[in-house]
Amino acid sequence: MKVYQTSDIRNIAIVGGAKSGKTTMAEAMAFCGGLINRRGSVDTKNTISDYRDIELDRKYSVETSLMYTEFGGKKVNILDVPGFADYQGELAAALNVVEAAVVVVNAQSGVEVGTEVAYRYTSKLGTPMIYVINHLDAEKANFDDSVNQLKDFFGSKCTVLQFPVNQGLGFNQVVDIVANKLLTFKDGKMTASDIPAEFADRAEEMRMALVEEAAAADDELMEKYFENGDLTPEELSKALRLAIDKRDLFPILCSSAKENMGVERILEFICQNVPAPNEVANFKKTKAGKELKCDSANPTVAFAFKSAKDKNLGEITYLRLYDGELAEAQDVINSCNQSKERVSQVLICSGKDRQRVEKACAGDIICTIKLKDVKINHTLTTPKNTDDEVCEIEFPTPIYTVAVKAANNNDDEKVGAALKDLCNTDRSLSLENSRELRQVILGCQGELHLNTVKWYFENQYKLAVNFTAPNVPYRETITKSAEAMYRHKKQSGGSGQFGEVHMLIEPYYEGMPNQTKYPIRDTQEYNLDWGGKLIFNNCIVGGSIDARFMPAILKGIMEKMEQGPLTGSYARDIVVNIYDGKMHPVDSNETAFKIAGRTAFREAFKLAGPKIKEPIYDVAVTVPTESQGGVMTDLQGRRAIVMGMDAEGKYTTLRAKAPLAEMNRYCTALSSLTSGRGTFTMTFSSYELVPTDVQQALLKAYEEAAADEE
């Protein structure tokens, strides 16, 4: 295959709502470029980009697919991105490595959840956008409604560059404002003719408005516009490119990708108006702030943005070249861990098909295999420029968590390895082996995302796995002082075990004086790993317990604090005073005093007004204003306290404090209440006492669970 120079490369991501026709659009682009001679379809399961077993099974995209087409002497790299919001990790990765997003909008439904998610990410990353209103051949297609929704949601920068003459079942013509022609589509071919008189005035009015809007992107062009009242076609093309690149203008084009109508013109528009990687207004930067200007003469900088597993090839690493060239057998340095790598092959992707090339130039998107230690977000450089580490992709934080356990204990190791594999290839998943909860916790983006994980376990790894709600990390504490003692005595021939400990425990609070009714000989203060404090006071007078046994008593207390007396949760914020006890000259040892200290602490804890604390989170829920009432009612039903709200455009952000115990599966409930448009974030705030009825229920559940284990 031909090696394309940087100036002849265009990189786009096809994004938008599910079922808007993104995969069909990508397929039609490959057909228009002559890469395939027959277009596949999602229904017949033979498209280039939806080739994975799970995608064939479900008939929608689950992972981003890399493919390309050739048009007008240009290579157009295409990233076909899943449309469901649960796969927005794929969206984040794709938008980080392209020069423009082609946002596909279903003409029958207008702006959808996927459209809004795509807009949020492009805004955050500063990615230029081109809207394509698709399915204009559908019976219920409504171009004007779709345009009005785009302008309503995303502002006046949304600018119509084409409008359909005959939308609906007979659709086959559009008026193109930029080309100033009527485009007719028949049998996959496009012909241009003069605009009919009935549309001429409307087209001219729209063209002049476009010229004025585009000229504002450049001072020189604006001066020419003021002087001449118009721009030449060449000047308009330059103005459009600048305006699109600066996100000053979001073009709106027309298509029926399924019937291959309008796709050829879209490709032509992309090649003319999406900047080459070395022509963009804002170049990618390294962590040190250096601009990577996509110059093939510079040392190599290749960024890993995606990883995948292949049963025949092993791990496939997808790379975007931001500088220099990458060739077969080239030695590179992983700037993240300084390991040396050799690039065995440079591969150009067309879905599951890959072609070897001698090298790739700056700006290209390729893949390679058999790298030893390269993960997503790693940068490959030469020994000359190891400081050129590309800024990492910021993946979405998981909002839905489950506990994962192998159905068969013998499969624990296999399940753990499978989870690590999945998290390595999908960075919007998270994995934590929680010592506190005694569970393996998987974080994902929603129920659909979790169902994808389940599919992989059932069909790829062939492992039976149980997914349950995670335990809540409660804390236990006390509210008043209490005393207790315990004597541990054990005799079984020879030396026995003997230790007696008397203690007073008190609730700790910040700033409290270090005093008790017993004289304090020594104080030790511990900041607990799980939050809060333990103050350990040695109040022994007269040598009733030797100082050498104090560490053992402390160890016993800490063991019990790690598995609290009420629910087995961590205990915190307690002052322990050891004021008396007894020893035996022969039988006393550290084990005996550890057991005595642990048991005395447990007994004192139960007498000290024990309380359970629960984690409280600051929750920010952004919802369409019309859904505000229902969402607020639902939050209050979850024991949340609404602290305030802020309105911005069509959305309202509710700020609340909510107990974590009530927020399990909240993303599913929120999606139902807002038709998928609501989003939320959660940040830990503090631990607060649970209500009495909740504490009673927790104690009862713990007792029942303990009885079942016995």
pLDDT digits (tens, 9 = 90+) for 133-191: 999 999 999 999 999 999 999 999 999 999 999 999 999 999 999 999 999 999 889 99
- Helices 666-674 and 628-637 sit at what angle, rounded to 10 degrees? 150
- The pLDDT value recorded for residue 512 is 85
CB 481 within 8 A of CB 505: yes
CATH architecture of 612-694: 2-Layer Sandwich (3.30)
* Residue 694 in tokens: 């909740």
Work out the angle between the directed axes of helices 263-273 and 233-245 (0-180°, nearest 10): 80
The residues with which 208 forms a beta bridge, in sequence order, are none
Architecture of domain 6-191+248-273: 3-Layer(aba) Sandwich (3.40)
Query: Which DSSP state fits 509?
Result: -
Dihedral angle, C-alpha 671, 677, 683, 685, nearest 10 °: -70
Q: Which amino acid is at 384?
A: K
**C-alpha to C-alpha distance for 243 and 216, rounded to whole angstroms:** 8
3-state secondary structure of 63: coil
Provide the edge-to-edge strand list for the sheet that holds 365-369: 340-343, 330-334, 379-381, 301-310, 314-323, 365-369, 346-350, 353-357
Query: Residue 611 CB: number of other CB atoms within 10 A?
Result: 16
Question: 127 in the Ramachandran plot: left (φ > 0), alpha (ψ -120 to 50) or beta?
Answer: beta
Which residue in this structure is represented by tokens 């345009």? Answer: 147
Same fold, 400-468 and 612-694: yes
Contact 609, 570 (CB under 8 A): no
Q: Are 612 and 475 in contact (CB under 8 A)?
A: yes
Spatial CA neighbour of 245 closest among 256, 235, 237: 237
Burial of 689 (0-12, 13-18, 19+ CB in 10 A): middle
CA dist 261 and 692 (Å) reads 66
Phi-psi region of 155 (alpha: psi -120 to 50; beta: other; left: phi over 0): left
Q: What is the pLDDT of residue 312?
A: 81
Six-digit token pair at 23? Answer: 């995969």
C-alpha distance from residue 602 to each of 507, 596, 598, 606 (Å): 14, 10, 6, 6
Question: What is the three-class DSSP state of 66?
Answer: strand
Strand-strand pairing, 353-357 and 346-350: antiparallel
Q: Is the dihedral of CA 232, 238, 242, 243 positive or negative?
A: positive
Name the DSSP letter for residue 493.
Answer: S
Fold of 476-609: Ribosomal Protein S5; domain 2 (3.30.230)
Please give the single-letter amino acid code of residue 687: Y
Average pLDDT, the chain: 94
Alpha carbon 650 to its chain's center: 24
Residues 6+ apart with CB under 8 A from 188: 31, 260
Q: Which of 656, 646, 698 is nearest to 681 (CA)?
A: 656
C-alpha span between 403 and 441 (Å, rounded): 5
Reading the block at residue 181, the tokens are 């022609």
Q: Kindly report the CATH number that applies to the domain delimited by 284-381.
A: 2.40.30.10
pLDDT at 708: 66
CATH number assigned to the domain with residue range 400-468, chosen from the 4 options 1.10.3210.10, 3.30.70.1050, 3.30.70.870, 3.40.50.300: 3.30.70.870
pLDDT computed for residue 511 by the predictor? 83
The alpha carbons of the chain give a radius of gyration, in whole angstroms, of 32
According to the model, what pLDDT value does residue 710 have? 52
Q: What is the pLDDT of residue 709?
A: 60
Residue that the structure tokens 């003069």 belong to: 194
- What beta strand segments (E) does 324-473 contain? 326-327, 330-334, 340-343, 346-350, 353-357, 359-360, 365-369, 379-381, 400-406, 430-434, 439-444, 465-468
Q: Which residues pair with residue 286 across a beta bridge?
A: 390
- Residue from 360, 377, 490, 502 nearest 427 by CA: 377
> To which residue do tokens 């995948």 refer?
308
Residue 15 pLDDT? 98
d(CA 74, CA 271): 7
Residue holding tokens 């030790």? 524
Q: How far apart are the first and last CA of the chain?
A: 69
Q: What percent of the chain has pLDDT over 70?
A: 99
Strands 129-134 and 100-106: parallel
Residues of the chain short of pLDDT 50, as ranges, are: none
| Annotated domain spans of the chain | 6-191+248-273, 284-381, 400-468, 476-609, 612-694
131 neighbors 150 (Cβ within 8 angstroms): yes
